[in-house]
């Protein structure tokens, strides 16, 4: 008898959060079935998470564990796309609690063939308030700047957030996956980049409020973690490096997707939001230098950006779970 056809692949990308990820996996195991699989893309050292997945896969065969050779969120998501067997790929973070109807709500939206991606509702911690749709989020050019994921009704948006977003696998393959030129370890705007490429491929991105999960936003582990630095000078330099990487990703995204006339507005907003003024002259100078160098590098990256972004060498040949 042939194995059942997988419809949804839930992909969890994790790094240095073994115990936290195990808790998240345990939340998803009851939601798996013949048509739903769970793929854990592990980038951290140690065997604890792999051993846990091997043990759970013995009685939950739809659980699979993949080891990567080097960390990076966009590369890890691409490895998940390459390994996934489902026609719909649901990306979630490694520190979330899904509502029971999460997967069904995502899948149900794809009954409409014009829907290429779905953004779900995200509850940050214990803040479960819902809000009316912000009209600015519906702007066809700049909606991505103002989008939140706590709206009270379904609506078409310009962007999704990677801790609760799904995309048709065939579209992800056709557009070349997640752009690996976004800057590790921080990463910013990579989900908006994929979202706009899905929309510009002719599909809608639909926000579904019933596709809900709780995002715990753990401060330990993860690719966004910042290693503490000691000493005033080191801390100051680390701050400028984080700012530079953040600006480079933001400005790279803008350079990829918008004409110069449109960039004038978004670049100015980015400058106001992240540089602005400072009471310390040297900080103002340093932030402006970060902005200028980030802008130049972003333009160069955008000029040479060419999908696809997949890299077969990233996936280890050993994989725990059903093959």
- DSSP string for residues in 164-203: EEEEEHHHHHHHTSS-TTS-TTT--SHHHHHHHHHHHTT-
| Position 195 in a domain | yes
Indicate whether 282 and 150 sit together in one domain: no
Indicate whether 49 and 168 sit together in one domain: yes
pLDDT recorded at residue 223: 52
Indicate whether 72 and 94 sit together in one domain: yes
182 token code pair: 């976004």
Domain extent for 239: 232-304
What is the average pLDDT across 224-247? Answer: 77
Indicate whether 189 and 174 sit together in one domain: yes
Using the structure block, give the residue that is written with the tokens 């696998």: 169
pLDDT above 90 as % of the chain:
75
What is the average pLDDT across 277-284? Answer: 82
Q: Would you say residue 227 has pLDDT above 60?
A: no
| Strand ranges inside the chain, DSSP E | 8-14, 36-42, 63-68, 88-92, 96-98, 115-124, 155-156, 164-168, 204-215, 315-320
pLDDT recorded at residue 282: 85
| Strand ranges inside 15-98, DSSP E | 36-42, 63-68, 88-92, 96-98
What is the average pLDDT across 241-268? Answer: 93
pLDDT recorded at residue 230: 55
pLDDT above 70 as % of the chain:
90
106 token code pair: 């995502």
- DSSP string for residues in 246-299: HHHHHHHHHHHHS-HHHHHHHHHHHHHHHT---SSHHHHHHHHHHHHHHHHHHH
- Which of 144-158, 216-230, 253-267, 297-311 has the weakest average pLDDT? 216-230
Alpha-carbon gap, residue 123 to 211, rounded angstroms: 11
- Which of 89-98, 172-181, 207-216, 276-285 has the weakest average pLDDT? 276-285
Alpha-carbon gap, residue 117 to 80, rounded angstroms: 16
Q: Would you say residue 256 has pLDDT above 70?
A: yes
DSSP-assigned beta bridge partners for residue 207: 119, 155
What is the average pLDDT across 61-80? Answer: 92
Alpha-carbon gap, residue 278 to 275, rounded angstroms: 8
What is the average pLDDT across 198-211? Answer: 98
Indicate whether 137 and 267 sit together in one domain: no
Alpha-carbon gap, residue 250 to 282, rounded angstroms: 23
- Which of 103-112, 134-143, 168-177, 277-286 has the weakest average pLDDT? 277-286
Alpha-carbon gap, residue 99 to 106, rounded angstroms: 12
CATH number at residue 37: 3.90.550.10
| Position 1 in a domain | no
What is the average pLDDT across 155-162? Answer: 96
Peptide bond into 185 cis (omega under 30): yes
CA distances 294 to 86, 236, 252, 259, 282, Å, are 38, 18, 8, 18, 18
- Classify 207 as helix, strand or coil: strand
Alpha-carbon gap, residue 74 to 177, rounded angstroms: 8
| Position 12 in a domain | yes
pLDDT tens for residues 286-304?
999 999 999 999 999 999 9
| Position 298 in a domain | yes
pLDDT recorded at residue 320: 59
Q: Would you say residue 226 has pLDDT above 90?
A: no
| Position 98 in a domain | yes
What is the average pLDDT across 45-53? Answer: 91
The total of structural domains in the chain comes to 2
Of 227 and 129, the one with more pLDDT: 129
Buried b (16+ CB within 10 A) or exposed e, 294-312: bbebbeebbeebeeebbbe
Please, which pLDDT band fits residue 6 given cuts at 50, 70 and 90? confident
Indicate whether 160 and 120 sit together in one domain: yes
Alpha-carbon gap, residue 160 to 175, rounded angstroms: 16
Alpha-carbon gap, residue 73 to 184, rounded angstroms: 8
| Position 60 in a domain | yes
Indicate whether 42 and 184 sit together in one domain: yes
- Which of 187-201, 282-296, 302-316 has the weakest average pLDDT? 302-316
| Position 322 in a domain | no
pTM: 0.91
Q: Would you say residue 138 has pLDDT above 80?
A: yes
Measured from the Cβ of residue 16, the count of other Cβ atoms closer than 10 Å reads 18
Alpha-carbon gap, residue 88 to 168, rounded angstroms: 5
Indicate whether 31 and 128 sit together in one domain: yes
Indicate whether 131 and 70 sit together in one domain: yes
Indicate whether 197 and 236 sit together in one domain: no
Of 196 and 226, the one with more pLDDT: 196
Indicate whether 133 and 18 sit together in one domain: yes
Please, which pLDDT band fits residue 323 given cuts at 50, 70 and 90? very low
Indicate whether 175 and 274 sit together in one domain: no
Question: Do 144 and 266 touch, CB atoms closer than 8 A?
Answer: no
Mean pLDDT score of the chain: 90
| Position 248 in a domain | yes
Q: Would you say residue 222 has pLDDT above 70?
A: no
């Amino acid at each position: 008898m042939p194995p059942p056809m997988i419809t949804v692949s839930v992909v969890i990308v994790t790094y240095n959060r073994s115990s936290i990820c195990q808790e998240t996996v345990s939340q998803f195991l009851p939601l798996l079935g013949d048509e739903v699989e769970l793929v854990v893309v592990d980038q951290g050292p140690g065997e604890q998470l792999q051993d846990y997945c091997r043990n759970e896969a013995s009685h939950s065969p739809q659980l699979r564990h993949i080891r990567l050779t080097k960390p990076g969120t966009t590369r890890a998501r691409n490895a998940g796309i390459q390994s996934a067997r489902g026609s719909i790929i649901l990306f979630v973070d490694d520190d979330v609690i899904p509502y029971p109807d999460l997967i069904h709500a995502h899948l149900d939206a794809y009954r409409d063939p014009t829907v290429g991606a779905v953004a779900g509702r995200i509850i940050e911690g214990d803040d479960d308030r819902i809000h009316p749709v912000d009209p600015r989020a519906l702007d066809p050019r700049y909606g991505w700047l103002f989008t939140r994921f706590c709206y009270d009704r379904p609506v078409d948006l310009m962007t999704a957030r990677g801790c609760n977003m799904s995309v048709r696998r065939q579209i992800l393959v056709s557009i070349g996956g997640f752009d690996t030129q976004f800057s590790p370890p921080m990463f910013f705007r990579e989900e908006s980049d994929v979202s706009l490429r899905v929309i510009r491929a002719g599909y809608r991105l639909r926000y579904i409020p019933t596709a809900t999960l709780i995002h715990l936003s753990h401060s330990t582990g993860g690719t966004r973690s910042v290693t503490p630095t000691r000493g005033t000078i080191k801390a100051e330099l680390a701050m400028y490096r984080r700012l530079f990487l953040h600006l480079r990703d933001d400005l790279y995204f803008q350079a990829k997707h918008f004409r110069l006339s449109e960039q004038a507005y978004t670049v100015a907003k980015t400058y106001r939001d992240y540089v602005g003024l400072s009471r310390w002259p040297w900080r103002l100078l340093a932030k402006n230098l970060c902005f200028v160098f980030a802008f130049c590098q972003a333009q160069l990256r955008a000029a040479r950006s060419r999908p696809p972004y997949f890299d077969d060498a990233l996936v280890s040949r050993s994989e725990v779970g059903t093959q």
